[in-house]
Amino acid sequence: MYSLFEGLKQEEIDDLLKLASVESIPAGTILMAEGGTASRLYILKEGQVEIRKLIDEKDEVIGTIRAGDFFGELARLDGERNSASVVATRESVVIAFDRSSVDVMIRRYPEVSWNIARVLSERLRASNDSLKNQIEIQKMVSQKEISRLNSIVEATQTVNSSLEIDRVLELILQEAIRITFAERGTIYLIDDNSHEIWARIIVGDEISEIRQAIGKGISGYVAETGETVNISDAYSDDRFNPEFDRKSGFRTKNILCMPMRKKDGKIIGVFQLINKRHGNFDFDKEDESFLKAFSVNAAIAIENSRMAQQMVQNERLSAVGRMAGTIIHDIKNPMATIRLYAQVLKKKAGNEEASSLVDQIIKQIDRLVNLAQEVLDFSRGVSQMNIKSVNFQEFLNDILIFLQKDFDKRNVELQTENSFPGDIEIDADKLTRVILNIAGNAADAMPNGGKFCIRAHSDKLKLTIELADNGSGMPEEVRRRIFEPFVTFGKKTGTGLGMAIVKKIIDDHHGEIEIQSELGKGTTMTLQFPLKQPK
């Protein structure tokens, strides 16, 4: 039964059907286009068609026509352009009436007009209900978006409440976990120099640093590709490393891992969130959307923290430089006087031993003045090198004389193994300070005594010096940062500039330094220098 012909007799219906054509319509055919013109009225005999309308640039389905229903009446009655599109969603058969046939139907059978009016009324009510539902849905969506926006604003305010990098990372992670309802998570940062990602995690009562190569594991994959990884079963993904679960007894179920980007799109870190806490739910597109929006603010907070730390470091260097300048100004004159007196004593010394002791006094005076000058130069970013060719064994002997006296007082056994008797081009004063600084740190790491060994050997191009102790060693996170200014470990005194200056001197010699250290077993520092400095 066709709704358009309701109330008509069968012979009347048969009479009207003679005015129409029956057409087969393939699935996907657009019978009426929104904004287009049409003058035909259709009855759907078989199949299904949808009424669609563009809403906010989206093609929304606002109604479905099923077998027995009719459509296209408004365009025929008011002569306006189509207010919606009609698309066959499956293979269909329609009965089509042209303009003149519709006019005949209406004039001949008033029931047809009544049926059109009745169906229009029903569709209007249905449209009103649909519109009301859409408004309610949109209201809920808007409220949810406002809530998410407020959450992002709150999270942004929270993470910008500190400029200390560890605290900033902690706040970022707390906010990411809170908003996504994750059980736990990790924030990794990218180390461009080592091509690694790193994070600080709490193990027992201590904070440890973990590192892995970019491209390795899920977080490393995200750091390398910039893709979001959202998996509901971590163990089904070949990139997942279950080692942590095996050691801790924790069970990772689902993972959301996303890149943290700056405004310019550069990836500076990775969010890794684990186990959605709401039942057995997985992380969804809303979680991804939040983290994407939040990541820009998080990246800004991290960059602000880094800039603030750099400013503080620069100010501290400036202060140290001013202090060093004052020291040099205050001690140069008295030290010059002492040095002059020492030279006079040397001339009057009656034996070789006394003369040698005076030489050591003069060297230590020069070392003290040069040390203050070096701190001043470092704080100003200045390098002054005095490269000369020296015999390495003679150079080493002068260092051993000073070290032996100091180590004897500290119960440290000094061992040497030198297989290089030749000459090398170095700044002897600066390289002396390198070895003495490393040796002094080694002695500090052996408060109850121990062994310190200097081993040296060479090939045709470079000299290798190994400085090894059996002291307390250093944790990995300290080892990786040991050359940064103001980084110290296990010392109550000092400026924290010693190893930074060591690295600068080695770089100025076109050399390299590597550190191997293990807690409780000791530290070995390997220095390599070219035998001849490049011109």
Helices (H) and strands (E) in the chain, counts: 13, 21
By mean pLDDT, which of 11-25, 198-212, 413-427, 509-523 is the weakest? Answer: 198-212
Strand partners for 85: 52
- For residue 139, the model assigns a pLDDT of 67
Q: Classify each residue of 221-238 as buried b or exposed e, where b means 16 or more C-beta atoms within 10 Å of its C-beta.
A: bbbbeeebbbbeebeeee
The pLDDT tens digits of the residues spanning 95-108 come to: 998 888 888 888 88
Comparing 107 with 454, the larger pLDDT belongs to 454
Check residue 234 and report its DSSP letter. Answer: G
Q: Which residue has the tokens 């193994």?
A: 417
Residue 504 has a pLDDT of 83
Instruction: Please tell me the predicted confidence (pLDDT) of residue 148.
Output: 64
Out of 34-38, 129-133, 151-155, 170-174, least confident range: 151-155
The DSSP result for 40-71, as a single string, is: -EEEEEESEEEEEEEETTEEEEEEEEETT-EE
- pLDDT of 276-323, one tens digit each? 886 567 888 888 887 887 777 777 777 777 776 666 565 555 655 665
CA distance 254 to 232: 4
- Is pLDDT larger for residue 296 or for residue 489? 296
Q: How many CA atoms lie within 13 A of 171 on its CB side?
A: 23
Q: What is the residue-wise DSSP string for 102-153?
A: HHHHHHH-HHHHHHHHHHHHHHHHHHHHHHHHHHHHHHHHHHHHHHHHHHHH
* Among the ranges given (50-64, 122-136, 160-174, 199-213), the one the predictor scored with the smallest mean pLDDT: 199-213
> Residue 348's CB: how many other CB atoms inside 10 A?
9
Mean pLDDT of 163-192: 80
H, E, C per residue of 277-317: CCCCCCCCHHHHHHHHHHHHHHHHHHHHHHHHHHHHHHHHH
Strand stretches in 447-497, DSSP E:
450-458, 462-469
- Specify the range with the lowest mean pLDDT, choosing from 111-125, 220-234, 503-517: 111-125
Distances (CA, A) of 516 to 273, 291, 457, 490, 535: 33, 38, 18, 17, 32
Q: Each residue of 324-366: pLDDT tens digit?
A: 566 565 666 677 777 776 777 777 776 777 777 777 777 777 6
Cα atoms in the 13 Å half-sphere on the side-chain side of 530: 9
Q: Please give the backbone phi and psi of residue 445, each rounded to the nearest 5 degrees, phi first.
A: -80, 0
What's the start-to-end Cα distance of the chain, in Å?
101
pLDDT of res. 451? 93
pTM reported for the whole predicted model: 0.46
- Cα dihedral 378, 381, 382, 385, rounded to 10, equals 60
Lowest mean pLDDT among 260-269, 351-360, 426-435, 444-453: 351-360
The predicted structure's pLDDT at residue 144: 62
In angstroms, rounded to a whole number, what is the distance separating the alpha carbons of residues 500 and 482?
Answer: 7
Higher per-residue confidence, 175 vs 8: 8
Residue 534 above 60 pLDDT?
yes
CB-based burial label for 395 (10 Å; 0-12, 13-18, 19+): middle
Tokens of 428: 């002897």
- What does the pLDDT read at residue 205? 47
Mean confidence (pLDDT) of the chain: 80
Strand partners of residue 185: 273
What is the reported pLDDT for 311? 66
Q: What is the pLDDT of residues 74-90, one digit of tens each?
A: 655 666 777 788 899 99
Query: Whole-angstrom Cα distance, residue 249 to residue 247?
Result: 6
pLDDT at 160: 57
Highest-confidence segment of 31-45, 129-143, 228-242: 228-242
DSSP 74-90: HHHHH-PPPSSEEEESS
For residues 294 and 176, the answer to whether their CB atoms sit within 8 Å is yes
Confidence of residue 383 (pLDDT cuts 50, 70, 90): low
Given this model, what pLDDT does residue 155 score?
Answer: 54
Of all helices (H) and strands (E), which one includes residue 257?
Answer: strand 255-261
Cα distance between residue 270 and residue 257, in whole Å = 7
Residue pair 504/382 in contact (Cβ under 8 Å)? The answer is no
Domains of the chain with CATH codes: 3-133 (2.60.120.10), 157-297 (3.30.450.40), 385-535 (3.30.565.10)
What is the C-alpha to C-alpha distance for residues 445 and 473, in angstroms, rounded to an integer?
A: 7
Q: Which residue did the predictor score with more confidence, 436 or 325?
A: 436
Residue 455: per-residue pLDDT:
94
Quick one: tokens of 270? 């990775």
